[in-house]
């Protein structure tokens, strides 16, 4: 008997989530194609949406949560808060997997910051003894999309930081999410501290 299309999409989403979390694949499209190949469904099924894959990611993260992963999550949030404190003049916002509670195998803290120019941020980091690499990120939206520079550097506990720099008025409107095209979820320093407090409380309950 043929497997219902909805179940096929679910299996593909679950396998794509496993690939993202275990193999460190960050591109949802690539993860879905690899999932179809692993399950022997190449060229046959309709692939799940990015939103379906993200839902599977969150569910897998919940099912496989253990004290060690919860501790790791709190440690990463603590590192994110520390970086955001040091860059408070850029009004940083936490974005990406860590904000959702997803622990990537290759930990990266994704931040948005706001300044008149990316050059002034590079100079500021250099004066603090932080050397960074630069690149450009492309977001969907409008006729040509949105392009924004990003800086990569090493943060606390050896974690990699990716700071995307937007114009100062960019704080009013988040760019489209690569997952569903809606404005990206962003969390300020106060929000990250609150999230960390919740994570630490969960750890205390586990230890009791």
Q: Encode pLDDT of 154-191 as tens digits.
A: 987 788 999 999 999 999 989 998 888 889 999 999 99
Instruction: Give the Cα separation of 50 and 136 in Å (integer).
Output: 22
**pLDDT confidence of residue 181:** 85
Q: What is the side-by-side strand order in the sheet with 108-114?
A: 93-95, 108-114, 160-166, 146-154, 133-139
Characterize the bridge pairing of strands 108-114 and 160-166: parallel
- The phi and psi torsions of 87 (rounded to 5 degrees) equal -110, 25
pTM for the structure as a whole: 0.83
* C-alpha pair distances (Å), 169 with each of 41, 59, 109, 148: 46, 35, 23, 13
**pLDDT confidence of residue 47:** 87
Residue 2 has pLDDT above 50, yes or no: no
Average pLDDT score, the chain:
87
Of the two residues 33 and 44, the one the predictor is more confident about is 33
What percent of the chain lies above the pLDDT cut of 90? Answer: 50
Q: Can you state the percent helix, strand and coil of the chain, rounding each to 5? A: 50, 15, 30
Residue 110 has pLDDT above 50, yes or no: yes
**pLDDT confidence of residue 1:** 39
Residue 23 has pLDDT above 90, yes or no: no
**pLDDT confidence of residue 5:** 64
Characterize the bridge pairing of strands 133-139 and 160-166: unpaired
Instruction: Give the Cα separation of 82 and 64 in Å (integer).
Output: 27
Most confident of 7-11, 36-40, 41-45, 186-190: 186-190
Mean pLDDT, to the nearest integer, of 1-30?
Answer: 81
Least confident of 62-66, 69-73, 109-113: 62-66
**pLDDT confidence of residue 4:** 55
* C-alpha pair distances (Å), 23 with each of 29, 35, 76, 131, 159: 14, 12, 19, 28, 18
Q: Encode pLDDT of 88-105 as tens digits.
A: 999 999 999 899 888 887
- Tell me if 114 sits within 8 A of 87, measured CB to CB: no
């Amino acid at each position: 008997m043929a497997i219902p299309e909805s179940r096929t999409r679910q299996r593909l989403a679950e396998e794509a989530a496993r690939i993202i979390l275990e193999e460190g694949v960050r591109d949802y499209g690539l993860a879905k194609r690899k999932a179809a190949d692993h399950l022997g469904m190449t060229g046959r099924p309709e692939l799940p949406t990015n939103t379906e894959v993200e839902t599977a990611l969150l569910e897998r993260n919940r099912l496989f949560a253990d004290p060690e992963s919860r501790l790791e999550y709190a440690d990463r949030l603590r590192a994110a808060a520390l970086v955001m404190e040091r860059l408070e003049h850029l009004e940083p916002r936490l974005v990406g997997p860590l904000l959702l509670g997803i622990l990537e195998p290759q930990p990266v803290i994704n931040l948005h910051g706001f300044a008149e120019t990316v050059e002034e941020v590079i100079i500021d980091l250099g004066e603090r003894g932080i050397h960074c690499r630069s690149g450009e990120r492309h977001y969907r939206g409008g006729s040509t999309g949105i392009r924004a520079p990003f800086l990569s550097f090493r943060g606390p506990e050896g974690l990699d930081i990716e700071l995307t720099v937007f114009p100062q008025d960019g704080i009013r409107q988040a760019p489209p999410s690569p997952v569903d095209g809606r404005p990206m979820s962003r969390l300020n320093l106060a929000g990250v501290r609150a999230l960390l407090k919740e994570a630490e409380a969960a750890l205390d309950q586990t230890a009791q």
